[in-house]
Amino acid sequence: MNSSDRTPADLLRSALAADPARPLITFYDDATGERVELSVATFANWVAKTANLLQGDLAAEPGDRVALLLPAHWQSAVWLLACSSVGVVADVQGDPASADLVVTGPDTLDRARACRGERVALALRPMGGRFPQVPEGFADYAVEVPGQGDRFAPFAPVDPDALALVVGEVELSGAQLVGRARQDAAGLGLDSGARLLSGRTYGTWDGLAAGLFAPLAAGASVVLCRHLGQLDEAGLAQRVESERVTNTTV
């Protein structure tokens, strides 16, 4: 990654320039058996489409707060980088009532209805599938995002010193997030080409770092596992071997 990168979106652009074909996120849901692998290029395309949805259709502006009521999931990672691309604040598990927009999974729809702004729901079904029936009062992400543009340019430059992420008691600007992600990458022993298996949730900074930001900052990749507790010891060992995992944090 480039030393000049000052936002997570910068980190993604550098990763795309360096090696677009390498895996970035390999996602498992051990409750459903789902496995999805996204290269840097594929992930960046999802981010661009989502950022266009956020900035265009949802009219989000820099400084707006987006409550992200989402689990550790590859689509959650997409939304985190889309927020960085637009310059809005990603408030992870934040209060929808005080947010400008809310993005929710299927298990937190009732909580998300407290948001008076735009509401987007993710079914989190295999292959990015749609809701069988769109929840009332929400836009279905899987319906809205495919038609968005594959390239994204913010209407206004993103300020790396502006607030970018809130998770629990942690509040970080884009530049602070990048710096902390680099520190955590070193602490996790990550270097370019490493493969980190993470079973942590996205509800804490440690989970976000291991499950996205630290591997991105290091030029590494993550094997992101949801419901990892449903995998027995032999199954975990097999995954570590088959996915060529070099580092593990559960």
Domain chopping of the chain, boundaries = 8-249
Query: How many other CB atoms are there within 10 angstroms of residue 218's CB atom?
Result: 23
Task: Give pLDDT tens digits for 98-149.
Answer: 999 999 999 999 999 999 999 999 999 988 889 999 999 999 999 999 999 9
CATH architecture assigned to 8-249: 3-Layer(aba) Sandwich (3.40)
Handedness of CA 46, 49, 101, 184 (dihedral sign): positive
Alpha helix locations (H) across the chain?
8-18, 40-52, 74-86, 109-112, 141-144, 174-187, 205-208, 214-218, 233-242
Mean pLDDT for the chain?
Answer: 96
Counting residues of the chain whose pLDDT is more than 70, the rounded percentage is 99
Q: Is 151's pLDDT higher than 90?
A: yes
Q: Is 14's pLDDT higher than 90?
A: yes
Q: Is 49's pLDDT higher than 70?
A: yes
User: Which residue would you say has higher pLDDT here, 5 or 240?
Assistant: 240
Nearest to 149 by CA among 49, 67, 46, 245: 49
When pLDDT is averaged across residues 167-190 and rounded to a whole number, the result is: 97
Query: What is the pLDDT at residue 1?
Result: 60
> What's the distance, CA 7 to chain centroid?
14
